[in-house]
């Protein structure tokens, strides 16, 4: 892992810094269920200060649906990306769907009742319909139950999807069926292509395996990848912060470095 202080020094000298930030597990701790939407005034204030600062541009890229992220971060001028970058809200406030919902729903509607049936027979599971994807959260289930149920869900969905269009993503006690376009690395490339900011230093901060896609892309683009993890784990990221509070403190430090 490389030195965060050296990175801060470099960013302090940079004329332009584009920050790509994950939300859950990065800017904020995990919610009990993804439907719990509790905005954090301190976080909104911090990100507003970046929006006001001409040296920074901020994009938040989350696996949550865009409507949730908008409620969590009611800040004009931020670029927000939901469902791993399928749905975007531009800094000017325009909405972009990179995929027609109507093209995605028929397959998800086939899978949904089967997954609902599985989840309703288990304890501690939660089925989230994000529009463009379906996710089973098993954080509050027993380990063995989670493994068995997620394996069944994977088999059921695996038989129903076209692997050229959809993929199944695993996480810690988590399974999601989503379009292949739902990929944070591709989201970073999309933003860089459609909202270029020449010469900007690029930084991506994220905590889980869906962020690894973006770490690889950011590294490829010559940027900096920061994983949020305690203890350290195997990652493509070049730097590490320990926790969401550490991320906020580090971001606050970046502002302190640049505000006169």
Residues in contact with Mg ion by CB under 5 A are 22, 24-25, 207-208
Q: Cβ neighbours of residue 209 under 8 Å, at least 6 residues apart? A: 169, 170, 171
CB of 76 to Mg ion, least distance (A): 24
CB of 216 to Mg ion, least distance (A): 16
Nearest to 128 by CA among 92, 88, 175: 175
What tokens appear for 201 in the block? 């230093």
CA 232 to chain centre: 19
Q: Which is nearer to Mg ion, 18 or 184 (CB)?
A: 184
Other C-beta atoms closer than 10 Å to the C-beta of 177 total: 25
CB of 215 to Mg ion, least distance (A): 12
Which residue lies nearest Mg ion, judged by its C-beta?
25
CB of 25 to Mg ion, least distance (A): 4
Distance CA 66, CA 205 (A): 19
- In degrees and rounded to multiples of 5, residue 13 shows phi and psi of -85, -15
Q: Which is nearer to Mg ion, 29 or 158 (CB)?
A: 29
Q: Which is nearer to Mg ion, 209 or 257 (CB)?
A: 209
Q: Which is nearer to Mg ion, 24 or 87 (CB)?
A: 24
């Amino acid at each position: 892992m490389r030195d965060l202080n050296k990175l801060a020094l470099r960013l302090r000298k940079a004329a332009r810094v584009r920050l790509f930030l994950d939300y859950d597990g990065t800017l904020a701790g995990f919610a009990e269920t993804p439907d719990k939407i509790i905005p954090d005034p301190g976080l909104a204030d911090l990100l507003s200060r970046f929006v006001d600062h001409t040296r920074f541009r901020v994009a938040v890229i989350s696996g949550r649906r865009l409507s949730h992220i908008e409620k969590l971060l009611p800040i004009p001028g931020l670029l927000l990306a939901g469902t791993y970058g399928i749905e975007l809200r531009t800094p000017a406030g325009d909405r972009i769907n990179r995929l027609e919902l109507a093209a995605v729903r028929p397959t998800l509607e086939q899978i949904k009742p089967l997954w609902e049936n599985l989840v309703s027979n288990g304890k501690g599971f939660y089925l989230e319909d994000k529009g463009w994807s379906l996710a089973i959260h098993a954080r509050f289930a027993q380990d063995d139950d989670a493994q068995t149920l997620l394996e069944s869900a994977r088999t059921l969905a695996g038989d129903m999807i076209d692997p050229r269009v959809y993929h199944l993503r695993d996480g810690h006690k988590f399974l999601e069926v989503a379009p292949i376009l739902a990929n944070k690395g591709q989201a970073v490339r999309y933003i860089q292509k459609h909202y270029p900011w020449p010469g900007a230093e690029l930084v991506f901060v994220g905590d889980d395996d869906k962020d690894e896609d973006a770490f690889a892309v950011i590294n490829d683009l010559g940027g900096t990848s920061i994983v949020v993890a305690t203890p350290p784990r195997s990652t493509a990221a070049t730097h590490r912060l320990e926790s969401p509070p550490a991320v906020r403190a580090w971001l606050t430090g970046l502002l302190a470095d640049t505000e006169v």
